[in-house]
Chains A and B, each alone.
Chain A
Amino acid sequence: MVKIGILNLQGAVSEHYDMTKKAVENLGLNIKVESVRYSEDVTTCDGLIISGGESTVIGKLIHERGIDKAIKDNSIPVFGTCAGMVLLGKKTDFDQPLIGLMDIAIKRNTYGRQKDSFEAPIEIFGQAYLGLFIRAPALESYDKTKDDIKVLSELGGEIIAIQQGHNIAVSFHPELTDDPLIHEYFIKEVLSKQNQL
């Protein structure tokens, strides 16, 4: 059975778990959703979600536990939100451990501190969506020479969602809304990778 892992190290993990369950139910699929904490558990996943939280803290734990290696060795598609987006990048404006799965550079706290955190209507996959930006990052740049990179959403000139291969990075928090649209999209990406194998 296909399994989506929710990386349970730090941050809004249970929210992602609930939203992924909802997405699986909506799609009417028989997919297992599991909270995972160590590399040996990550290895058994067909897709992995990395929550928002503190990217410095999550990144350190990922590195210490060899989870970055487990992801790369098994080519596991990753969906990262907020801190998860930072970790998917190859570069950010602080010296911290990253997974570096996508050819993107991230600017942490693009929009400022918590008093500047905001919600705004955005558009993704041609649909209206609620963007929840909490001390959110945005894209600094991406490698335009890579033809597997696709910008998924922009807001006010900043790229807030991007895909490379089967990996997806968004700077906002879909897990705090009640719309599983983006989780459903990621599950379909995981399945499309399975079908290619």
Chain B
Amino acid sequence: MVKKGTDVLKEGFAKMTKGGVIMDVVNAEQAAIAEDAGAVAVMALEKVPADIRAAGGVARMADPTIVEEVVDAVSIPVMAKARIGHIAEAQILETLGVDMIDESEVLTPADEEYHINKKEFTIPFVCGARNLGEALRRINEGAAMIRTKGEPGTGNIVEAVRHMRMVMGEIRTIQGMEEEELWKYARNIEAPIELVKETAELGKLPVVNFAAGGIATPADASLMMQLGSDGIFIGSGIFKSNNPEAFAKAIVEATANYDKPEVLAEVSKGLGQAMKGIEMSTLSEADRMQDRGI
């Protein structure tokens, strides 16, 4: 019997992106630049996170025209963002032929209590997480891929590092635990015990785990790979830089050669100015996207 939308197909799709870079794009032209540079997928959206931050107001799913334009422009997979808890936006994106949905804190949440029941969809979802509890709650809701939240649109890597280190550290902690201790740990982090046990046994998350939120330079991409990321999402970093083509290529090279400092040095040369970036202490509580949808 032929089956679609099964867990193995959803999680398998995410596995095919491992070791790669997924780039935010706002039109067909940027999508083509990303594909040429060697992106494994593109994320179609209306504004990159830095512009969403600057514009203020309510950030929503991209106009379907933009999504379709990007879907038609490239041969690689296309992802798109839906607001947290916005079932209808997700349904629309699935209809448009998007390959994966990012239920994203970058957009203004539609539901402050509940995330989307991602098991109801044929296509897979990726969700952000700051720690193991968040990651496993999202996986329990059906997420086929996890990424750090970082702090989107800041060009500041510090939060993505914090979140990746947190998840990896928690996994190391539970690996040495007795069953009773796992029960208590699962309760404390508000995650299902089955997923906590599975993670402890695997020594890693049960799904692919990417870095996102603040990656601005080739060195940032290498840092996240060295901390154990399966791959890189880059939003504002590329098309907010002075030379997007060169930047996009350099980020791909840096991700593929993350353990070769001499290659990193070479690809980091003469890239021009990276995005300006924002220091965390200057962000107000309300401007912190990572605190949305926990």
Contact = CB atoms under 8 A, between A and B. Distances in A.
Given A12-B12, A176-B12, A115 B19 contact: no
Interface stretch (A118-126, A139-147, A187-195): A118-126
Nearest to B19: A10
B77 A114 contact: yes
Contacts of A14: 18
Nearest to A114: B99
Interface string B4-43: 1110110011011111100000000000000100111100
A108 B77 CA distance: 12
A113 B40 contact: no
B75 A94 contact: yes
Interface string A104-132: 00001100011111111100000000001
Contacts of B77: 54, 113-114, 135
Given A57-B20, A60-B38, A135-B77, A117 B97 contact: no
Contacts of A119: 2-4, 6, 8-9
Contact of A134 (B16, B76, B256): B16
Contact of A54 (B6, B76, B94): B76
Interface in B56-108: 71, 75-77, 94, 97, 99-100
Contact of B19 (A11, A118, A176): A11
Interface string B116-127: 000000111000
B1 interface: yes
A108 B3 CA distance: 21
B99 A135 contact: yes
A141 B72 CA distance: 25
A52 B13 CA distance: 10
Nearest to A133: B9
Main secondary structure of the interface of B (DSSP, over half): loop
A102 to B, nearest CB: 21
A152 interface: no
Interface in B189-205: none
Interface string B130-156: 000000000000000000000000000
A61 interface: yes
Given A115-B122, A118-B2, A134-B13, A9 B75 contact: no
Nearest to A59: B38
B20 A53 contact: yes
Q: How large is the interface on A (under 10, 10 to 19, 20 to 34, 35 or more residues)?
A: 20 to 34
A115 B18 contact: no
Given A53-B16, A94-B75, A10 B122 contact: no
A117 B4 contact: yes
A10 B123 contact: no
Contacts of B99: 113-115, 135
Contacts of B6: 119
A135 B94 contact: no
A53 B40 CA distance: 8
19 contacts: A8-B19, A9-B19, A53-B19, A54-B16, A54-B40, A56-B38, A56-B76, A83-B16, A94-B75, A109-B75, A113-B99, A115-B4, A118-B4, A119-B6, A119-B8, A120-B1, A134-B13, A135-B13, A176-B12
Interface of A: 8-15, 52-54, 56-57, 60-61, 82-83, 94, 108-109, 113-121, 132, 134-135, 173, 176
